[in-house]
Amino acid sequence: MKAKWAQDKLTELMGVEVEKSRGPLGITIAKKKIFSIMIDFDLDRLQEWGHSLFDMQDYADAAELYKKAADMLGTSTRTAKALYMAARSYQLAGDASNAKSLFKRVIKDYPASVEVSEAAIQWGLTDLNDNDPSEAISHFELARSRKLNRQEDLISLFWLYESYKIKNTPNEMQKAQEELINRFGLTYYGIIAYNDSKGVLPKFDPVKVKTGKTYFSDSEDAAFERAKALLQRGLFDEAASELTPLMNRPLNNAEAQILANFFAQAMKYPKAFSLLTSIIDGAPEKRNDFVVREIFPKEYWDLVSDDKLRSEIDPLLLLSVMKQESAFDQRAVSHSGAQGLLQMIPPTAQEVAQDLQTKLGDPKNDMFDPLINIRFCAWYLAKLIKKYDGSVPLALAAYNAGPKRISVFMNSKNGPLKDTWVDELPWAETSYYVKSILKNYLMYRVLYTGLTQLPSPPWSQGPVTAQAAPVQNSKTSVRAPKTTEQAPAH
């Protein structure tokens, strides 16, 4: 018990010295001494401390701990993970040579490990940073020969496509481009590929929107009627609960669209988005204006487009963040305690209140007020964009992971960030978050401002005039007839 306490105390002291080392005096003698004690401990402690230092963003020391742990493990099945974490730590510390060496060991010595695909992707990104597209191609192709999750599949395909572009291999580039468009058309990377191919951004048919036939049972019809009555009384939660069980059975596209339309009316956007996304992912021909606008609604437009906010930040960017953060649920609370439409934690809200020279009436609940939440979060995001010299992606990463973490990440790279940085982040959640919002932003601009070509850079904020395309009211009824029907045009 006493030994564990002492080891935990060592972790705490190391955290203090890591923070000091980021100051003007650099690495302290105490930090070196603590690390010399850490690296001589047993295997389990080495790995635990490796994780701790990685989380503290002390990547150079984390790499050494992971590497020694891997050496101690020998040929254990756990060795691949330790090697991969050592390689990632070197990569994040700006040591490309050691990173590549250990990525290679993972792939060569542990070909059956789950870490191989991740190692191949990160090795490919490191190759691109070293201006070596040929090596990058070989590693992205290796990754794509493995069983990947959807995000790994998209990342490896996009950077393979970019590598082909750099190497100027048009046939391979076109093949990768077509796969991006067909399989990932409404992702950030898919939209970039589409614009590269067509010279314009995607357009969505404004007229030919047919719901098709539906096959609801009598009991389901009765549930719709009850839900409609509850919705008219403003009982959104109760109304949605009547129809939620329908999501447990297979739905055709027409049924999914009707159910999604209802959930949108009840402000249950996560359910609506899930249903609608399943439609357009499985059938690209269904990517029409009617369906896509349901996925990208202009809720709270009167608040985000206020003239004072508009002068600081594009209201469509605020909607893009809001969609990702809360799906327009003003009572949303995250696992970290962030609250409201744009998800701000109370301590940050207090800081913003001081900057705005105002006071919060109820610090624990004010972020649930849409007006206050939007005002505070818009100001804070605009501040982050200025902090990062106009870079919306970096500001979004800081909004999600915290400005301090992003600044440490940037400083650890030993040079200017390359385009690959968003997929090198040590937080997969933040990487996905940034790309999701950038996708949202492009889609909102296509739908509501008539944007036809990809800006340069793609995330640059464009002027949003007071005459931006209005919201179309696609929520005219709770139910549609059971027969094939022409939906409203936009």
pLDDT in tens, 123-142: 999 999 999 999 999 999 99
Q: 311 vs 231, which has greater pLDDT?
A: 231
pLDDT at 285 over 80: no
Residue 420, SS3 per DSSP? coil
Residues classed as catalytic: 325
pLDDT at 474 over 70: no
Q: Return the pLDDT at 257.
A: 85
> CA 8, 10, 13: angle at the middle one, nearest 5?
115
Amino acid residing at 115: E
Tokens of 375: 């005002």
| CATH number for the domain formed by residue range(s) 114-196 | 1.25.40
| CATH number for the domain formed by residue range(s) 1-108 | 1.25.40
Q: Return the pLDDT at 473.
A: 36
Q: From residue 163, how far is each of 119, 134, 157, 350, 477 by CA, in Å? A: 17, 7, 10, 45, 49
Q: Cα separation of 193 and 197, whole Å?
A: 6
Phi, psi for 486 (deg, rounded to 5) = -85, 120
Would you tell me the crossing angle of helices 2-21 and 43-55 to the nearest 10 degrees?
30
Mean pLDDT of 117-126: 98
CATH 1.25.40 is the classification of domain 218-287:
yes
What is the model's pTM?
A: 0.89
Phi, psi for 419 (deg, rounded to 5) = -60, -20
Phi, psi for 436 (deg, rounded to 5) = -65, -40
CA dihedral 114, 117, 123, 128 (to 10 degrees): -160
Q: Cα separation of 417 and 399, whole Å?
A: 18
The rounded radius of gyration (Å) of the Cα atoms in the chain is 25
Tokens of 84: 């991969």
Q: Cα separation of 46 and 60, whole Å?
A: 14
Q: From residue 237, how far is each of 55, 225, 259, 267, 276 by CA, in Å? A: 39, 15, 15, 9, 20
DSSP string for 72-97: HHTT-TTHHHHHHHHHHHHHHTT-HH
Q: Return the pLDDT at 15.
A: 92
CA 359 to chain centroid, in Å, comes to 32
Q: Which fold has domain 303-449?
A: Lysozyme (1.10.530)
Tokens of 470: 């209005």
Q: Cα separation of 120 and 392, whole Å?
A: 28
**What are residue 177's DSSP bridge partners?**
none
DSSP H helical ranges for 266-391: 269-282, 289-295, 301-304, 307-310, 315-326, 346-355, 370-387
**Nearest partner of 21 among 53, 67, 63, judged by Cα:** 53
Please state the domain extents for the chain.
Answer: 1-108, 114-196, 218-287, 303-449
Mean pLDDT of 294-303: 93
pLDDT at 377 over 90: yes
pLDDT at 467 over 60: no
Give yes or no for a contact between 422 and 431, defined as CB atoms under 8 angstroms apart: yes
**pLDDT tier at 170 (50, 70, 90 boundaries)?**
very high
Rounded mean pLDDT of the chain?
89
> What is the percentage of the chain residues whose pLDDT exceeds 90?
71
Mean pLDDT of 276-305: 82
Whether 114-196 and 303-449 share one fold: the answer is no
Q: Which residues of 383-395 are buried (b: 16+ CB within 10 A; e: fewer)?
A: bbbeebeebbbbb
Q: Cα separation of 466 and 481, whole Å?
A: 37
Phi/psi region, residue 132 (left: phi>0; alpha: psi -120 to 50; beta: rest), is: beta
**pLDDT digit string, tens, across residues 389-436:** 999 999 999 999 999 999 999 998 877 889 999 999 999 999 999 999
